């Protein structure tokens, strides 16, 4: 790995068919004790769906890339529109080539089939004018089962894969996949079998040591090993390191094993740490640029999960942060060339104004 140096299912009316439990932590702990496993079935991961005839083309072989980075965006409400309005202004001034959607694409409980109107109201309409490919990652809310965000119905996420064939913007040919764009390679990873609040502990397909994660780990190992791009970005919904209320992998939401994401932590350490320059994640509704994270072997953890919500909490200060914001919605941008990556964080306060809050450049 290149060493870096730094220069400073819902219904058509949008209502969820799952109920919102008043005490998630208590409920989750009870579910784990009972051995709840509501995910089943098999997915041929990595097999592309049919492409939309009019899809915006990927900038393959690019010598420079300008990337919009958003996460946890799919509400369809005013805050999401304020963020996309700000992104549109930047796009008009200096156009983006692609966007990264870091999960929780359809709040609160994911879509109900690939033709669900929520794709229109929570993705297409808010992102009108941002007409370039959006590389999408699955989030826990996209895989909801008993209550929104439990991650317990993994097959629900397949509806978002199927939507790949219906949208010009939405790019998700499989639950996990990679895209080689010349100056950078992007690896979209699905950690949900390892981080679901209702874990699939009785499913040979989905459990932590099951078929799905075995196939994915082999794919990722080979893809990272054979990549010749100057820059490698791994995109997950769940972060490894996090100073926000969801906490880091291994202790997500302060929950006991297997709910705390220890298996996700182990996966990242074995298959991602030290093999890519950046780990981009959402999940926590905040923006964080973390550095020198033990266990990541030089891989930089970036959290961008504030595209429609913010947590309004204080940082735990567990990990060293170059920048963090837990109050405002916002997004990030990446300007990538063969020798450097410039990262910029933008904040969108409640008044709708946009401000550039942080910028740094990583060099090879």
DSSP secondary structure string for all residues of 4-44: PEEE----TTS--SS---S-HHHHHHHHHHTT---------
CA 56, 118, 94, 301 torsion: positive or negative? negative
For the chain, the structural domain boundaries read 68-363
In the predicted structure, residue 350 carries a pLDDT above the cut 90: no
Mean pLDDT of 135-163: 96
CATH topology of domain 68-363: Purple Acid Phosphatase; chain A, domain 2 (3.60.21)
Strand 300-304, strand 98-101: pairing: unpaired
**pLDDT of 4-44, one tens digit each?**
443 333 333 343 334 333 344 443 444 433 333 333 223 33
Provide the pLDDT confidence category of residue 354 given band limits of 50, 70 and 90: very high
Provide the pLDDT confidence category of residue 1 given band limits of 50, 70 and 90: low
- Per the CB < 8 A criterion, the answer to whether 291 and 311 are in contact is no
- For residue 22, what pLDDT is reported? 35
In the predicted structure, residue 60 carries a pLDDT above the cut 90: yes
């Amino acid at each position: 790995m290149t060493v870096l140096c730094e220069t400073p299912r819902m219904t058509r009316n949008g209502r969820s068919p799952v109920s919102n439990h008043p005490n998630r932590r208590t409920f989750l702990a009870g579910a784990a004790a009972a051995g709840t496993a509501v995910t089943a079935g098999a997915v041929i991961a990595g097999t592309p769906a049919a492409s939309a005839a009019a899809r915006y083309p990927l900038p393959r072989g690019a010598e420079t890339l300008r990337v919009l980075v958003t996460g946890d965006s799919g509400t369809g409400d005013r805050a999401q529109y304020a963020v996309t309005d700000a992104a549109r202004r930047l796009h008009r001034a200096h156009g983006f080539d692609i966007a990264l959607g870091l999960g929780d694409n359809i709040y609160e409980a994911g879509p109900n089939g690939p033709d669900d109107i929520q794709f229109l109201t929570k993705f297409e309409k808010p992102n009108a004018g941002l007409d370039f490919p959006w590389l999408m990652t699955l989030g826990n809310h996209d895989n909801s089962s008993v209550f929104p965000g439990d991650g317990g119905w993994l097959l629900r996420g397949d509806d978002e894969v199927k939507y790949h064939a219906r949208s010009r913007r939405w790019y998700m040919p499989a639950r996990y996949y990679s895209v080689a764009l010349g100056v950078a390679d992007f690896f979209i990873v699905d950690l949900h079998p390892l981080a679901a609040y209702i874990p699939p502990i009785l499913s040979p397909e989905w459990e932590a040591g099951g078929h799905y994660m075995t196939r994915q780990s082999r794919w990722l190992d080979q893809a990272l090993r054979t990549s010749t791009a100057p820059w490698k970005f791994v995109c997950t919904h769940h972060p490894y390191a996090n100073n926000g209320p969801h906490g880091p992998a291994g202790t997500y939401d302060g929950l006991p094993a297997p709910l705390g994401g220890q298996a996700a932590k182990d996966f990242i350490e074995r298959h991602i740490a030290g093999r890519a320059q950046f780990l981009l994640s959402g999940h926590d509704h905040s923006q964080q640029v973390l550095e020198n994270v033990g266990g990541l072997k030089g891989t930089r953890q970036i959290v961008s999960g504030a595209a429609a919500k913010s947590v309004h909490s204080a940082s735990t200060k567990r990990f060293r942060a170059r920048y963090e914001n837990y109050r405002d919605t916002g997004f990030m941008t990446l300007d990538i060339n063969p020798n450097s990556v410039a990262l910029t964080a933008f904040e969108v306060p409640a008044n709708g104004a946009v401000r550039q809050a942080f910028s740094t450049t990583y060099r090879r």
